[in-house]
Amino acid sequence: MKRISKIFIFVLCCLSSKAQHYPTFSQYIVNGLAINPAYAGRNGVMDVTMSHRRQWLGFNGSPVTTALSLNTPLRQKAIGIGMTVIDDKIGPFSNQFVSGIYSYRVRVGRYKLSFGIQSGVAISKANYDGLTRNQQQDALINGQRLVDIGFISGAGVYLHNKQLFAGLSAPYLVNTLNSNFLKENPIILTGGYFIGLDREHGIKPSLLVRYVNNSPVTADINLNYYYKYQFGLGVSYRTNKSLVGIAEFGLSHQLRVCYSYDCELNRLKKYQSGSHEILIRYYFGYNINAKNPRTMFL
C-alpha cells in the first residue's frame, strides 16, 4: 500500500505496540467501573464520574478520550446498575461506546463477591479526508468516510472486603463490529491490598495485568499513599515502559478530583510531552457509613 502519512503510520505502530485498540485509562484504581462492570454499586451510594484523557500531548493524531459513567446500588446494595458513555479519538478514527451495566453482589465469608455484565452499542468511524497523502488519487483511502455500528458486551467478577480487592474482566468480550481496529479484546486482572499505617495514613500496593490476543502481556505495578480520605499520591510503572504519577483530592465528602500524568520511557518520549488525565466524581446521598475513610480508595 502506498505511504499515506508518516504521522498516521507512526501512530498506528505505537498503538499496535501498546495493544491500544480500546480506550486506555491510567486511573482505573480510582475508577474501577471503567474496566470492570462488576464494580457497579461498589461505593454504596450513587455516583457520577467524568474523565478526560489527552495522550501523547503535542503529537498529531494522538488519542483523546472522554468518558462519563453513572452507577448506583439497589435493593439493600445487593444489586448495582449503571451506564458508561465513552468517546475515543485516535488519528482518523473515532469510536463511541454506550453501555448499560448490571451487577449482583453476594457475601462469601468476610468478602463480597460481585458478578457484572455490560451490553451496548459501539460506533466506529474512519475519516481519511484529513490525512496527508503522497498521491492525491490514492484509490484506497481518497475521500473515504467509513461508519461501522455493532453490538458489544462484556462481563467481570470482583471480590473485596475492607482491605483487599481482586477482579477479572473482559469488558468487550462480544463484539460484532467489522472494524479490524477494534477486534483485539482485552482480558484484565486486577488486585490490591490496603495497609493502614495508623489512623490517618495508609498505603495500597496493587497490580493490573492486561492480556490482548496477538500482543505481549503487559502489567501496571502501582503503589499509592493516602492521608485520611482527603488526599492520595501514587506512582505506577507499566511494563511497556511508561511511568505514571497520580494525585487525588477529596474536596468534600461528596466531591473528588484526580489527576494523572504519564511519562513514556520508550521511543515515543522524544516525539511528545506526556499524557494528562483528569477525573471528577460526585457522590449523591452521601452518609458517613457509606464509605469508611480507611477504605475510601479501594
Per residue in 246-283, pLDDT tens? 999 999 889 999 999 999 888 777 778 889 999 999 99
Q: What is the pLDDT of residues 197-221, one digit of tens each?
A: 998 999 999 999 999 887 889 999 9
The CATH code of the domain that includes 105 is 2.40.160.40
- Is the pLDDT at 193 greater than 50, yes or no? yes
**What pLDDT score does 230 carry?**
87
**What pLDDT score does 9 carry?**
46
Contact 79, 105 (CB under 8 A): yes
Q: Is 107 exposed, middle or buried (0-12, 13-18, 19+ CB in 10 A)?
A: exposed
- What's the rounded Cα separation, in Å, for the pair 31 and 39? 9
Amino acid at residue number 169: S
User: Can you name the residues that pair with 25 across neighbouring β-strands?
Assistant: none
Cell numbers found for residue 72: 448506583
The domain tally of the chain equals: 1
**What pLDDT score does 132 carry?**
60
Between residues 181 and 13, the one the model is more confident about: 181
- Is the pLDDT at 62 greater than 90, yes or no? no
User: Domain range holding 10?
Assistant: 6-295
When pLDDT is averaged across residues 99-126 and rounded to a whole number, the result is: 96
Classify residue 1: in a domain, yes or no.
no
Question: Residue written as cell 498529531?
Answer: 60
**What pLDDT score does 2 carry?**
43
- What's the rounded Cα separation, in Å, for the pair 156 and 118? 9
- Is the pLDDT at 288 greater than 80, yes or no? no
Q: What is the pLDDT of residues 18-54, one digit of tens each?
A: 444 678 888 888 899 999 999 999 989 999 999 999 9
Torsion, Cα of 65, 194, 237, 94 (10° steps)? -10
Q: What is the pLDDT of residues 129-188, one digit of tens each?
A: 766 655 555 555 555 678 999 999 999 999 999 899 999 999 999 989 886 656 678 999
Cell numbers found for residue 1: 500500500
Q: How confident is the model at residue 10 (pLDDT cuts 50, 70, 90)?
A: very low
**What pTM was computed for the model?**
0.84
Cell numbers found for residue 184: 483485539
Pairing of strands 195-196, 201-211: antiparallel
Cα R_g (the chain), whole angstroms: 20
**What pLDDT score does 158 carry?**
98
Q: What is the DSSP letter of 8?
A: H
Classify residue 10: in a domain, yes or no.
yes
